[in-house]
Structure 1
Amino acid sequence: MRDDHNDEAELLARVDRLLAVLSQPRTPLPPPEERVRLREAAALSTAQIADTLRCHSDDVAQWEAGTQEPLAAHRAAYAHLLDGLAALPPPRPHNEPSPQHAPTTAPAEQAEQPTLFSTPLSPAQAPPSSRPPQPAIIPAGPLAVIDHTDTLIAHFTNGTRLPLNTSDLVDLLRWALDSGLSREPLSSHDKPGDPLLVLTAAASTALGLPTELDDRAALRLPATHPALVHLDQAGFKLTHRGFGPWPRAYLPPVNKQRRSVQLAITAWGALSEDGWHLPPLPPTDLAHLLGLYTERLLTPRGSTAVCGQELMTALRPPTKPVRDPSSGTWISGPNPGALHQALEPAPPEAPDAHPLAEGRPPEHAMQEEAWDWSRQPDTQETSRYPHVVGLDTNLAFLSAASSLPVALNSPPRHVMAPTFDKKTPGCWYCDLSQTDLDPRLPSPFTATGQAPAGPGWYTTPTLEYAQSLGIDVRPIEAYLRNETGRYLDPWYKRLRNAYMATMADLGVHEKIPQADYLTAMSKLAAADPAQLALLAAIKATAKGGLGKLREGPRYIASPYTRWPALNKPTWRPDIRAAVIAKARVILHGKIRKLAEQTGRYPLAVLSDCVLYPARTPSALDIVPDGPDQQGIQGLIRLGVNPGCSKVEGTQSTSWYQHQLTQGLNPARYIKNEAPGR
């Protein structure tokens, strides 16, 4: 039974001890701004001062901000240090010869290196003579993989490792804030990336975290868990998603400096679910692999879809510093070319769960989605072509995002009987049902590939393609947007470069003959599983980032109620629809031109995978060589670049027909059932 009397006595004793400290004479300190000036004049970091005074750099930052004052021995020592800094001679110019004697303070480039010990010891606990020597290893890169054997060990992306003098989560987070781990900004108005700590299962156990989460629905550690109670007592806060596989813990900013740490709990599926499918790797190899992902894209922040969305924002930050004309001070303002405000969609663009979809007839919902189409081969095709070959477009939707004009921050405006303008992003209601199209090709205007039965809502890329086919495009009404930009361009370029660099590491290079490309791709199955997992993560980041543009509700409490994603500037179903439509019409143009040149027509299409009849089980039987054996521009061609194709699988014509009799689209299964796969 709880003893309230003993608790009261202990609390009173603690208060008496605090009052005794406060009653001691208080050593005077210079104003906070002078403390900052003296430290910076000596080229010292807050971490160095914290290491000297046996405290955390957070404490020094708060002393300099004036939000907290040092007490007792810390105050006297801090005052003594500041007095000594004030007495130092002015720093020498860089071109002045150095004195004969070694300087007593570290050079500026060394001064910025953080302390490597995160658990502070009071002077009474550890006199200076008993302190362990400073390790020579300095944390490097944006992240560390934390493992545990006899102690916690940080593994860095450059292959180095460092034993950590800490045993609890609070001290580990403080070490991360002091360590200097960070990612460089990805654009002129981006901020440095938060340090990432990846906890192995052994490290999680050592830090008192459970091996798995009891709440399998929410995937969150309860707030009453001792580790989270300790975090809260230390002043750390969590985001609204709590402490799950990808938690983020942060302290209040000091001097407007962000103090946040991202964690990845591998025991809870952080790198084996949600688009991540990394094989089991030793900590050093895992750090290296995640370092490559960060170097080529960004520091992982969650699922690959979340990373895709975060990459958009980092490359096009919503705000930038602007000068207030009235006060002359710098304030936050909109960043041109970025998405900086949440917008409501046009009614046809709204997903079925959206409040704007309530009562909407099905025919008034825009259906700009990827293809799911197949057809029965005719007798001639069956007799001439005993094989079917699936050709999959590399990063088709990412490729379609390149140079695509999309709407930015202007809300949709409703217009009746507008004149179609291919330069205006919008949602157009138009009748394309009278168009005469070759039945051996899927219709470019519907997701089913069947000709439209009446008027429908289309994006600008779809109607622009219809015009290119000679169709008279006369919209009945439209929802148009005025502000336009190529928002996705830097996102496309970074993802493309990451994909191409990883493919090159796997031995698949661009600008090689199509036959050599097929040979190189045939060797991928025997490639390093870690490199293949990195490639898959990059591709999933691209796909997932586009999916986040139309993120649905996690839980449906009741129909037509809003969900949190709707409040994000990056929730833009109109941009997603434009990208998908662009990818669909690009592919239609390629298969149409291939049919015109070779007489070969597709049998089925699923999203970006096209099945063709073939004389031999080889893609070279379908695609022309071209003058340099690299295919022909504007047609389907084999190659590593986004927008080019690879072989998805090969089967017999009888297999194809059997799939049709089962009511299936053979393009969905040709990869899984291909011989030798």
Structure 2
Amino acid sequence: MTLDADTERQVTGYGVGGLILDVPAKSLPALVEWTLTEAQLGAERLHGSGKDADPLLVLTEAACERYGLPAALSDSERLAGRLPEGHKVIRQLERADWQLTKRGLGPWARIYRPAQGSRRQCVQLCIPSWRALDGRAWGHAAQLPPPELARVLGVYAARVMTPVGSTAVTGLQLMTALSPPTRASEPDESGRRHREHRPGSLGSEPVDPAPCEAIDGHPVLDQLPRFHVRGPGERLFEEAYDWARDLTDAECMQRYLVGLDVNLAFGAAANGAVVGLATPPVHVTRPVFDAAVPGSWLVDLSHVDLSRVKVGKQWRDLDGALLPSPFTPTGERPTGPAWYATPTVAYAVELGYDITPLEAWVRRESGRFLDGWYKRLRDAYVATMADLGVAEKLSPQEFLEAMNGYKSRDPELGIVVDAVKMTVKGGIGKLQEKARGGGWKPGQAWTALARPTWRPDIRATVISRARVNMHRKMLALAAATGRYPVAVLSDCAVYAADGPSPLDVLPYGADGKTVPGSFRLGVSPGMVKHEGTQSVLWGADVLEQLGADGHVANLARYIKTGEVTAKDTGE
């Protein structure tokens, strides 16, 4: 519910579905009491073993001032991320026996009393004027009038979950909400139930990564010499693509560069991903590779030659120099043994090559932990796009027409679509959250490591699958048409074409079908939309301006608008 105050200091609450309530509370402690006892806000749990969602109160600047809070944080408060401990409103809460979590009273705050039995007493605050709603995820939501902001957050809450922080934090929390770590046991001899591990979850305790999976500074690496730089033979480095090449003479003779962008690429990659669950990884030397076992494998893939690979079940001769390697984010061919997640190694086998791992860290307990998470976010995305006039099962031409200006049909739902996309991307990123704050030193544990969802191996699996999915599509298109990408950035691929439309890149037949296994136009996750089109002359100019010392500028970074806002560093 979004709260606003008028000049008479009367507070009004705007809820989902046009609900409007007069709010009688005169102080923040009274507001929390009113929310829990009279307004009875909140949402039901997403899983039978989970917890109901806590009520969310969004305070406008006027509501902040009404309840004794500043309309904006000072510079020092913004850097700290909270009000100082001695603030008068915090003292009011303490006197009323309300508590704050360790993050204090900041842009996103949780006010609670210890649970009594199964009854939770907790309210969340969201304060947009304190920069709670990051513009990268929520666009101009913070500037919306209260009823419209209530609608945006209400649709998101109904289709995803009640936000509990940034979209990244919410994406991570959604994983736990859909797959809780514990469940109620069967009654014991006395008839009592207790909490027990729920199979298929990540459990209640954090699991240390394998040394190769740990990011720099993690405590499991404390034996390494200071300032040691780990190479691919020591560190798993599964990241999204950032690859580009120069245009060929034939491509320079074409008129356009067309960008294709994969919808919810990380979400599609999460669907069906088999990942390790609640038990630690096991080290194995000279293992036999098993594509069904999640883990990290040290293996030499430098012998895989993209000039001759299996596409489907047939060997095909291609121009391997015009394709990125599927094994590195830079697209450069590996030069020796390196650590890879299971999907990357499995793709080398799919391409028709034998592989011999030297060692591995494998996870014997595994499952499709992210399937429910993907389905929830997929349904939220597809339903909101349908509300914007972009439905599933449109023909390619109908889809392109429907996408033209789709956000302008309902800008508020356009915000929701972007927030859903950032929830997917941010949730996967949070699986490997780095240390934050100036006081941290390498080798020390940081707060995120205490979460069962701090799982860089799961992040690596999803990103590996996303990159492999992208490469498989590019390979199928190249084999069928002789058309190769000129740049790839994460989930966007750029192709030279004679016309400005994606239909000038993708060979759709009269039956509405295109190359099997390649890119398909459509709204569903894993399908593609038009990212943007620029002229080949524009591309040649950008390459000339930004290229230096052998570095090729990534045209996919600028294809959407054509604007080059900063020097391309390739990082």
Distance 2:297 2:19 in 1: 57
Query: In the alignment, what sits opposite 2:175?
Result: 312
Superposition deviation, residue 275 in structure 1: 2.7
In the other structure, the counterpart of 1:669 is 558
The one-letter code matched in structure 2 to 1:390 is G
Counterpart in the other structure of 1:251: 113
**Aligned match of 1:355:** 219
- Is residue 155 from structure 1 mapped to residue 14 from structure 2 by the alignment? yes
Shift of 1:283: 1.7
Displacement of 1:282 in angstroms is 2.2
SS in 2 for 1:560: coil
Q: Which residue does the alignment assign to 2:242?
A: 372
For residues 597 and 633 of structure 1, the distance between their equivalents in structure 2, rounded to whole angstroms, comes to 9
TM-fit CA distance, 1:588: 0.7
Matches for 1:339-418 after TM superposition, within 5 Å: 339-340=202-203, 341-358=205-222, 359=224, 361-363=230-232, 364-383=234-253, 385-418=254-287
Matched residues in 2 for 1:304 and 1:642: separation? Answer: 18
Whole-Å Cα distance in 1 between the matches of residues 67 and 54 of structure 2? Answer: 21
Deviation at 1:441, TM superposition (A): 0.7
SS at match of 1:368: coil
Alignment match of 1:194 (pick from 39, 51, 54): 54
Percent identity reads 47
The equivalent of 1:323 in structure 2 is 186
Q: Give distance in 2, aligned partners of 1:565 and 1:306.
A: 11
Question: Aligned-pair distance for 1:356?
Answer: 2.9
Q: Report the AA paired with residue 338 of structure 1.
A: S
Alpha-carbon offset, residue 146 of structure 1: 0.9
Equivalent in the alignment of 1:32: none
> What corresponds to 1:96 in structure 2?
none
**In structure 2, C-alpha distance between the alignment counterparts of 1:564 and 1:326, rounded to whole Å:** 39
Q: 1:669 deviation in Å?
A: 1.2
Decide whether the 8 Å contact of 1:278 with 1:534 is kept in 2.
no
CA contact (8 A) 1:626 1:632 kept: no
Query: If the length of structure 1 is used for normalisation, what is the TM-score?
Result: 0.76
Of 283, 294, 297, the match for 2:146: 283
For residues 69-468 of structure 1, what are the structure 2 equivalents within 5 Å? 144-149=1-6, 150=8, 151-178=10-37, 179-214=39-74, 215-273=77-135, 275-279=137-141, 280-323=143-186, 325=188, 327-340=190-203, 341-358=205-222, 359=224, 361-363=230-232, 364-383=234-253, 385-437=254-306, 438-468=320-350
Shift of 1:177: 0.9
Residues in 2 aligned to 1:601 and 1:169: alpha-carbon distance in whole angstroms? 60
Opposite residue 499 of structure 1, the aligned amino acid is Y
Match of residue 522, structure 1, among 404, 410, 415? 404
Residue 549 (str. 1) matches residue 431 (str. 2): yes
- C-alpha distance in structure 2 between counterparts of 1:256 and 1:667, whole Å: 51
Work out the CA distance in 2 between the residues paired with 1:354 and 1:314. 27
Deviation at 1:439, TM superposition (A): 1.3
Shift in alpha-carbon separation, 1:278–1:334, aligned structure 2, 3 A:
farther
**Partner-residue secondary structure (3-state), 1:362:** coil
Q: Which amino acid is the alignment partner of residue 375 of structure 1?
A: R
Counterpart of 1:17? none
8 Å Cα contact 1:278/1:530 also seen in 2: no
Residue 579 in 1 paired to residue 462 in 2?
yes
- Match of 1:347, SS state, is coil
Q: CA shift at 1:632, angstroms?
A: 4.2
Distance 2:136 2:117 in 1: 36
Does residue 530 of structure 2 align to residue 647 of structure 1? Answer: yes
**Contact map agreement 1:276 1:303 (CA 8 A) in 2:** no
Separation of aligned partners in 1, 2:476 and 2:513: 17
Cα separation, 2, equivalents of 1:356 and 1:665: 36
Deviation of 1:470 (Å): 0.7
- In the alignment, the residues of structure 2 paired with residue 289 and residue 471 of structure 1 have an alpha-carbon distance, to the nearest angstrom, of 50
- Say which is worse superposed, 209-218 or 505-514, in terms of deviation: 209-218
CA contact (8 A) 1:590 1:634 kept: yes
Could you give the per-residue CA deviations for residues 622-671 of structure 1, whole angstroms, max 9, x where no partner exists? 11214542544411111111101111111122222232231321111111
Q: Which has the larger radius of gyration?
A: 1
454-463 or 550-559, larger mean C-alpha shift: 550-559
**d(CA) in 2 for partners of 1:325, 1:428:** 43
SS state at 2:113 partner: strand
Please, which runs of 5 or more residues in structure 1 have no aligned partner? 1-143
Calculate the TM-score normalised by the size of structure 2.
0.90
- Distance in structure 2 (CA, Å) of the matches to 1:509 and 1:458: 37
Q: Distance in 2 between matches of 1:643 and 1:157?
A: 31
Q: Is the Cα contact below 8 Å between 2:388 and 2:407 reproduced in 1?
A: no
Q: Is the 8 A contact 1:153 1:162 kept in 2?
A: yes
Tell me which of the two structures has the higher relative contact order, counting C-alpha pairs closer than 8 angstroms and 6 or more residues apart.
Answer: 2
Q: What is the CA–CA distance in structure 2 between the aligned matches of 1:255 and 1:414, rounded to whole Å?
A: 43
Residue 272 of structure 1: how far off its partner (Å) = 4.1
Q: Deviation digits for residues 121-152 of structure 1, max 9, x if unmatched?
A: xxxxxxxxxxxxxxxxxxxxxxx111111311
What letter corresponds to residue 205 of structure 1 in structure 2? E
* Pairing 1:474–2:356 present: yes
Gaps of 5+ in 2: 307-319, 548-552, 565-571
Equivalent residue in structure 2 for 1:594, among 454, 477, 496: 477
Would the aligned equivalents of 2:241 and 2:490 in 1 still touch at CA under 8 Å?
yes
* Residues in 1 aligned to 2:323 and 2:390: alpha-carbon distance in whole angstroms: 32
The aligned counterpart of 1:638 is 521
Q: Distance in 1 between matches of 2:116 and 2:363?
A: 41
Opposite residue 148 of structure 1, the aligned amino acid is A
- When structure 1 is superposed on structure 2, of 271-280 and 474-483 the one drifting more is 271-280
Q: Which residue of 2 aligns with 1:77?
A: none
Q: 1:293 to 1:316 in 2, by over 3 A?
A: same
1:600 to 1:274, Cα distance in 2 relative to 1, 3 A: closer
CA positional deviation for 1:278: 3.8
Q: Distance in 1 between matches of 2:248 and 2:113?
A: 68
Q: Which of 272-281 and 183-192 deviates more?
A: 272-281
1:507 to 380, 389, 397: 389
What SS class does the counterpart of residue 253 from structure 1 fall into? strand
> SS at the partner of 2:335?
coil
Number of positions where the alignment pairs a residue of Structure 1 with one of Structure 2: 531
